[in-house]
Structure 1
Amino acid sequence: MALRVLRLRKFWIALVLAAAAVAIAMLGHRIATRTAFDEAASRGQTTLRLAVAALRGHISRFEPLPALIADHDDIKDLVSHPDDPVRRAQANEYLKEINTLLQSSDIYVMVPNGDTIAASNYDLPLTFVGENFIYRPYFQEAAAGRRGRFFAIGTTSLRRGYFFSSPVLVGDEIRGVVVFKVEIDAVEASWRGGENEIIVADPEGIIFMAGREQWLYAGLLPLTPERVARTRQSRRYADAVLRELPITRGAPEDGHEFVTIRDGGATREFLQVSENMADAGWTVSVLMDTASARAQALTSATAAVLLFGLATLIGAIILQRRARQAERMLMQKQAREELERRVEERTADLATVNAQLELEVAERRTTEQRLRQTQSDLVQAGKLAALGQMSAALSHEFNQPLAAVKAYADNAAVLIDRARVPEARDNVSRISSLADRMATISRHLRNFARKPNQRLGPVPLAEVVDDTLEIIGRRLESAGATLEVDLGAVPPVVIAGTVRLQQVLVNIVSNAADAVQGLDDRTITLTARQQGGKVTIAIRDRGPGIAPQITERIFDPFFSTKGVGKGLGLGLSISYNIVKDFGGSLSAENHPEDGAVFTIELDAAASAAAVAAE
């Protein structure tokens, strides 16, 4: 019994769902069809407005021209003397010139009996001169004193055009009519190949402009004898064959008009939007094929049914899943409790590890601070060692000026006693110069010996080289070495620290002096060149070079090739670390010819102007 009730319930549910699907399909198709036609009508209205604006713009710019031509003195003189050949020839040339300038179709002048006496095409085979157009409405309206407008096929040229006419007044008398013809083929050509069909019909319902050439001169309305007679009377379409367009008008739907046209063997339904051009007497219509709109509506209705089916399927899946949700929730609760227990255990382990890591980080920071302090002390020790090596030479530098000062002072006392004041003053000036010399040497030694500022900035390389020469000048003299400096046309400016860079150059040049001591060629060269954002400083000696077995150890701390008591083995190691702190590099290699080359590469500063701004 329960199974039967369950099956009956499923049957009724299926029946209700099927009925709902049918209702959704019908309602969705109705709504989708209305929406598709509304959108198509909106697009058609836009196309219609553009087409009407193009027609009005094309016609309106020529409308005032017949009146202007009719007011011309030559035209008035012509209609006053219509048989004068000279006046006719002048009028023909004038009309041809105006027609060429305005790029219109034809301009011609008629007398009250309808004869054409002058035309812009007077020299063409199909000229209007001599033709009579009294049957045209535009002539009749102008002859009655009004401006005329008329669309027709020319009976002479057999080309469609829009005719404007204006009376030629001489005093208060109408002596003639000026007619201005404009072709509209260019406007019609722009409609071809478009998504929609555009047609223009005259007051009798006959199509005279269309994107499809086969629809021309076909009637949208039944061609009754009265309509045909009115059209034949004005010869609007000359000898063109008029016919009825096989069109059937359907019942309006939601305010939209539909027509069905049989074109060849195919029948197509169109949504029609129209607008009357009252001033021209035309009706402009845009026809939009409904096949795409109806297909779109069918697709939308199908999509709605599919969505309903999908929603039903999703609902069934949800209901089925709810039955299992309680069981899953229980399992999840148990798993969650187990996970929380494990997380607590893991958190405790992580807290212990984290504490150990913090302790190690603190120890590493302490070690790093001690390392930096040790490195700073080693740099200072290296400088003091270099000062110790140069002490003998520097004592000679101070002893010579001091002996000279003593001699000049004694001489000055003798010269003063002998009243030779100018010579005594000269001795005193020499004593002052020697004092300045010793002060300069002392200042360089003091700057070299002190601990440098760690801040980096633009450093002129020329100044550092000059200060270096002041410190090691005597060392070079004692070794008999010569330092040749080539910093280029514009000495570079590098990013470094002044005192520390000076210490690097002192260490390397001093080592070079040791290497060339006692040799025949004791020349040391220091060159610097800037390439892009880098400056390369090369210091080369002519010594024995670097032995291959020590190439990899040359920058190691406390490694030295000098004898005992001649060095700590820290100079190159300190120099290497200083250059590395500058963000540069220091390398050593043997020169292809002879000797060793130490290369320093540093970042280049912007310019010397940047140094002046510091």
Structure 2
Amino acid sequence: MNHPPQIEGTVANRNLNGGYNSRLLVTLLLSLAVFLFLLAMFDKKFRASETDKLQEQASQRLSVYQNSLLTSIEQYEFLPAVLSTDPRILHALTEGSAVSESSPLLSQTNDRAGSDEIFLMNKDGLTIGSSNYLSNTSFVNQNYAFRPYFKIAIEGGLGVYFAVGATSGKAGLFLAEAVYVDGVVTGVIVVKISLAALENSWVQSGEKVWLSDELGIVFLSYDARWQYLGLRPLSLKDQKLVAETKQYGTEEIELFAIKDDNSKYSSVELKGESEHILFQQDIQGLGWKISWLYSKAEFTKAINLKKIYLFSLYVFMIISGLWVRERIKSAQTQKHISQLIQQSEEHQRAIIENTDAGLIVLRNDGITTFINPQAKLLFRLEDDSLPDIQLLISPWRGIHATVRPTDATGLRTDGTKVPILVSTSAIGTTGEHEYLVTIHDVSELKSAQLNLLKSNDALEQRVISRTEELRQAENELNQSQRLASLGRMSSAIAHEINQPITALSSYAASSELLLHRNDHEKVAINLTKIKGLIERLSYISRQLRMVSGKRNTGLSTIRILPVVQYALDVLKTKTEQLKVKVEIDIGEFDEAQGNSMMLEQVVVNLVSNALDAVISKTVREIYIRSRHGSGLRLSIEDTGQGLNPDDLPHIFEPFYSTKDMGEGLGLGLAISYSLVTDMGGKLTVSSQVGNGSLFNIDLLSSSINVKNNTTESFVFDTTDTTDTTEVASKLLGNRVEK
């Protein structure tokens, strides 16, 4: 009888549980609705918050890795500068003693410094010394002029360049510095260092870090699969540059799949892995970017955890657990970063202790905190005191001086002085920045420079003496040439005058006999011939009077076409007889500064010579053209025989003729040359045997104001009242000599 109540109780409990479940379901649904509402409101905020968090975390980590990278580079930065001033390096460049001197030196230096390779190139990019000169992959006699680090260094800059070795195939960072001899760049010294240790530290830390160059190509990575892949497409110019310099070998540069999800970061898809967020930081001074990758799945997971936190308490607990886990992981990472910082500082301290250079560490306020043993030895410091750096270096330029070495004087405690090179750079990764002062004793270098200056002075004296000897020899040669010219002139004048005089003597004797016979008719004939010979002598005299005459040039603006037309009119009969085709290409209003009568004589001379030159040719053509440039050029070209190369240097000399004796004095071109010169112009010739000759008359522009001037040259005697046209016709009736 008790069963019914029990059944009712069970039913009641079920109803109660059902109501609870319903309320729970409603609550869950309401909670879900609230969650979805809050999710919609705070989703963007959550993403921004998580992005800022990762951005800050990435900034810290990238700063640490960047400092570690710069530290690895800075320990070798001074080495190219030091080697570039080594006398043995300078000697190798100037004397060419590569393997016997520079290579062993570079090999020894490379072993001490712990660098990958050190090699020396001349100004043409040819390697004349290398630390690996004994290996099968020796750089000696290899030309690396195509490498950008060489081009930067040869221009006087510091070449910093990461690439795969063109010979060894090993990747590394190249530090290149110009080598100066007497202030002139004569070669480049290159130190190659390996960054493999830095890359291994990334792998061991578990961090996803890589380095990319200015073209966006990854060249150092936590995972070797991503090396030499591009973060952005390369232009055709950049593709050509990478191929020509062989920076990353000969393989084609493939690209990552990059998406810009946010203005603060981009995401990248890695083959075989999930999508990652890419945070980048510029490495100042190198043009590189260091990147830290964070899993996109982890990023989304963190946001979802925050969303779940808003949903309910148990989700909050789950999120709290994940947060604790993230904190532990973050603490481990921070611990690792601290260890890296400590290792970096210990590494710096070890470099300072063991380097061959003198090193002094200063605080921000200039207070000395450390002096290494080499510096103590250099300045003769006997105790552990830390003196003011201004008492050791003069002049002291301050802690913010350039990193490039500068000359200074070291002041030792015993009162002596020593020449030094000083450079300053910032160091330290935590707290206040410290500054490292690097000091090199250059006493031997200064002594070598002094000896070199003495040698240069002696060489200059020898050059001066040799120059004086050459000047004397040149004067003697000029005297010989003048005597030779005088000889040609004398021979030509003697021949031209002796013929008429001999004939005159003969006709005079004949006339005397004829007078005794009373043969007056034949005497008259002889007198006519004598008159012709006298005219011949007068003609020769007029030509000679043109030499060393004085005349007012009377330069003014003249038109070229009428001058040419006049010359062609004078030579019209000769032109038609020889059936020569003359083509004129001269503008109607072409003008220049000159003298019409003088230019007419020059054109008549040159055209007459051209007519004589084409007589023996089947094609008889003459081209007369004008062209404008800085002035006006009048060209006269023929299709004649051309001139012998041996005659060209003497063609404008007075009394020099290529014709047979008796056909002229050789004054035509000499007079033309002088007339053009008097007008402020220039007469030039170009010719090839069998291909004709081209004479160019370059005259001043008509826009230039030229005053009348009197010059001494080869011109007509101004006292001669003979008509210009008649003179030209008589002068050129036979032939004008070339």
| TM-score where L is the length of structure 2 | 0.38
Larger Rg: 1
Greater share of residues in helix: 1
| TM-score where L is the length of structure 1 | 0.45
Task: Tell me which of the two structures has the higher relative contact order, counting C-alpha pairs closer than 8 angstroms and 6 or more residues apart.
Answer: 1
